[in-house]
C-alpha cells in the first residue's frame, strides 16, 4: 500500500494524525498533514482507510 496526500487540499483538521499517528503527523508551523510513512504495513490498512474516510478535505489517497 502507498499513502499520498494533497497538502493543497488539507485543512489541518488533524483527524488523520489522531487515527494513524505512525503514518501521519501535522506540520509545526501550518498544521498541514505530514506523511511519516509512505509505505505502511498491510496491518495498518484499517486505520488508514478510516483516516482517509474521515478527512474532511478528502486529501488522503491510498493506492
pLDDT tens figures, 19-45: 999 999 999 999 999 999 999 999 999
6-29 mean pLDDT: 97
| CA–CA gap between residue 45 and residue 51 (Å, rounded) | 10
pTM of the shown model: 0.94
CATH number of the structural domain spanning residue 7: 3.30.70.20
Residue 35 belongs to what domain range? 3-62
Give the pLDDT of residue 6: 98
C-beta of residue 11 within 8 angstroms of C-beta of residue 57: yes
| Average model confidence (pLDDT) across the chain | 97
Report how many domains make up the chain: 1
Give the pLDDT of residue 44: 98
pLDDT tier, 14 (very low <50, low <70, confident <90, very high otherwise): very high
Residue found under cell 505512525: 22
| CA–CA gap between residue 12 and residue 55 (Å, rounded) | 9
| CA–CA gap between residue 50 and residue 48 (Å, rounded) | 5
Amino acid at each position: 500500500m502507498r499513502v499520498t496526500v494533497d497538502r493543497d487540499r488539507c485543512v489541518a483538521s488533524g483527524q488523520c494524525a489522531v487515527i494513524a499517528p505512525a503514518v501521519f503527523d501535522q506540520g509545526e508551523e501550518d498544521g498541514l498533514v505530514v506523511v511519516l510513512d509512505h509505505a505502511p504495513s498491510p496491518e495498518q490498512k484499517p486505520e488508514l482507510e478510516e483516516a482517509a474516510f474521515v478527512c474532511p478535505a478528502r486529501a488522503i489517497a491510498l493506492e
